[in-house]
Amino acid sequence: MIGVQRLKLNDFLLFPTTTQGMPTVEATDFIPEKLEAYKAKNKPRTRVEGALHFFVDDIRFENLWKFPFRQLNYLQKFQAVCGPDFSLYLDYPQPLKIWNTYRNRWLSRFWSEQGLTVIPCVSWAEPESFNYCFDGLPQHSVLAIASMGISKKDRNSINLLLQGAEVMLERLKPSTVLVYGEKMKNELQSLNTEDVFRFYPYYRRGQK
């Protein structure tokens, strides 16, 4: 276990990695009844039924990376936590997208080592990102993705979502895919005949 609160370079060597250097994330079979967004404030005092997700602006959970021990008590209030969804925007340079993928895997494995139930979170960008964005993730596990940012008027984004989801199904063979947001529901379901997708409503800021 790390003996300091702020990450140092040597801390990155703690966990088993793939041949590409991505920390490996363990599989889970936990399926939550609901997904609740991470909030740095408004921390619950009692046990929360459901899983915590990070399909929010990166700036809102950046401190979880810088100070991974600081919020553990908060995270432990939930039945499970999804892996952190550090953004892989199309206009990001590839090294930054690889770095954000690494941070997703490292924190996911760190939380698991601290006793949390972690639902691996999957993100991808353009097809070139398929070379690393699935690396370190388990097969035959419950996984989490988001679709709420997809505009049905943006054909390129739709195609990338469906193309990446198809590759995810082929490579990772998930038992269940939790989808935050109900956009593209019919399109995603058409990719798989085994009904692996489970959809959760997207709540806008200010909604309860």
Averages of pLDDT over each 10 residues, the chain, 208 residues: 47 78 96 92 79 95 91 93 96 96 96 96 97 98 89 80 96 97 88 91 59
Report the candidate in 87, 78, 86, 74 with the shortest Cα–Cα distance to residue 41.
74
CB 9 within 8 A of CB 128: no
pLDDT of residue 206: 41
* pLDDT score recorded for residue 174: 98
pLDDT score, position 14: 73
Output b/e per residue, 7-26; b: 16+ Cβ within 10 A: beeeeeeebebeeeebbbbe
- pLDDT value of residue 12: 55
Taking the model in full, what pTM does it have? 0.90
Whole-angstrom Cα distance, residue 113 to residue 111?
5
- Tell me how far apart the alpha carbons of residues 119 and 44 are, in angstroms, rounded to a whole number: 20
pLDDT at residue 105 in the model? 96
**pLDDT at res. 77:** 93
**In this structure, are residues 90 and 126 in contact, taking their beta carbons and an 8 Å threshold?**
yes
Confidence (pLDDT) at 205 = 47
- Judged by DSSP in three states, 123 sits in coil
Would you call 149 exposed, middle or buried from its count of C-beta atoms within 10 A (0-12, 13-18, 19+)? middle
Question: What pLDDT does 202 receive?
Answer: 84
Phi-psi region of 106 (alpha: psi -120 to 50; beta: other; left: phi over 0): alpha
Helix (H) or strand (E) holding 178: strand 176-180
Q: How far apart are the first and last CA of the chain?
A: 37
- How far, in Å, CA of 85 to CA of 54, rounded? 6
Which one-letter DSSP state was computed for residue 145? E
